[in-house]
Amino acid sequence: MANILIARNVTKTFGGLVAVNDFTLDVAENSISSVIGPNGAGKTTFFNCVTGFYKVDEGEILFGGGLIHNLRTDVVTRKGISRTYQNIRLFANMSAIENILVGQHPRLKTFWAAAVWKSKGFVEEEAAAVEEARRLLKFVGLQGLGDQLARNLPYGAQRRLEIARALASQPKLLLLDEPTAGMNPNETGEMTRFIQHLRDELGVTILLIEHDMRVVMGISEQVTVLDYGSKIAEGKPKQIQSNPRVIEAYLGRGAASGLKAVKAGKH
């Protein structure tokens, strides 16, 4: 299988702090891959490097065979990468459906001024976009909530809406930053099933960030473990669970969830 995303020796520093250190990662097309690691390991920073929000200090990032680490964020998005955020970042004062419509932006092509005289092309494209937004709303299970302001939606619905917004650009690669953060075990289970469903239904490659190991074990084909910015392990979920360096990384930080996850994996 071809690799859709390749990161080679990526390093990103903030002042003296090396947030991502000589990190190499291959993401196979159509897979669900995960990057895990304790809080502050550099996972989000890596995402920000991929999307062009941060400029990498060293190394290179390839997407679909082309270099992307020097491109602006909006250009990277247009190439087919979209993302969600660890702490939900919706357009709070816009309705749910408008959030999705913004997500469709890269696919809309009519000249902006055509909206003034409502050219045929504009009207058609707009109607199709609204139709598509409604469909996505339904797909993530939010039908009927489309006209609510994003900030008035319940937490779980906001997470789903953020995913719908990210899907709206029809990306080839979807980056999910801790999609189950702040959820109870029930909601977490539901979200993981939903992520699996996403890939199976839409064929989109998914790269997932988590600090809680349990979430990713069931659904990932490949897991990469990051600690203090460096890769300490990589492989199938089974191999990761028994890797002593990984256990140490989680236990060393006193992360109770890591310990529980390891135990849960062993029985």
Ligand X SMILES: Nc1ncnc2c1ncn2[C@@H]1O[C@H](COP(=O)(O)OP(=O)(O)O)[C@@H](O)[C@H]1O
By CB under 8 A, residue 59 contacts other proteins: no
Q: Residue 86 CB, nearest distance to other proteins (Å)?
A: 13
Q: Residue 197 CB, nearest distance to ligand X (Å)?
A: 25
Distance CA 265, CA 267 (A): 6
Q: 67 to 86, contacts with Mg ion by CB under 5 A? A: 86
By CB under 8 A, residue 228 contacts other proteins: no
Q: How would you write 64-102 as a 3-class SS string? A: CCEECCCCCHHHHHHHCEEECCCCCCCCCCCEHHHHHHH
By CB under 5 A, residue 44 contacts Mg ion: yes
Closest CB to Mg ion: residue number? 44
Q: Select from 6, 4, 5, 16 the least CA-distant residue to 57.
A: 16
> Which contacts of 248-257 are long-range, i.e. CB under 8 A and separated by 24 or more positions?
249/37, 249/38, 249/225, 250/38, 250/213, 253/38, 255/38, 255/211, 257/211, 257/212, 257/213, 257/214
Compare residues 104 and 180 and give the one whose CB is closer to ligand X: 180
* 19: partner contacted, choices other proteins, ligand X, Mg ion, none (Cβ within 5-8 A by kind): ligand X
Q: Select from 160, 105, 102, 101 the least CA-distant residue to 133.
A: 101
- Within 10 angstroms of residue 73's Cβ, the number of other Cβ atoms is 14
By CB under 8 A, residue 72 contacts other proteins: yes
Give Dmax over CA atoms of the chain in angstroms.
66
Compare residues 54 and 139 and give the one whose CB is closer to ligand X: 54
Question: Which positions lie near ligand X, rule CB under 6 A?
Answer: 14, 17, 19, 37, 39-45
- In three-state secondary structure terms, 59 is strand
16-24, 75-83, 190-198, 256-264 -> range binding other proteins (CB under 8 A): 75-83
Can you tell me which of 37, 38, 42, 103 binds other proteins, judged by CB under 8 A? 103
Phi and psi angles of residue 27, each rounded to the nearest 5 degrees, phi first:
-115, 120
Closest CB to ligand X: residue number? 44
- In three-state secondary structure terms, 165 is helix
By CB under 8 A, residue 55 contacts other proteins: no
* 45: partner contacted, choices Mg ion, ligand X, other proteins, none (Cβ within 5-8 A by kind): ligand X
DSSP 8: E
What's the half-sphere exposure (Cβ side, CA atoms, 13 Å) at 73?
7
Q: Residue 1 CB, nearest distance to Mg ion (Å)?
A: 28
23-31, 38-46, 68-76, 194-202 -> range binding other proteins (CB under 8 A): 68-76
Q: Which residues bind other proteins (CB under 8 A)?
A: 51, 53, 72-74, 77-78, 82-83, 85, 89, 91-98, 101-103, 105-106, 108, 110, 112, 115-116, 118, 122, 126, 130, 133-134, 137, 143-147, 149, 165, 169
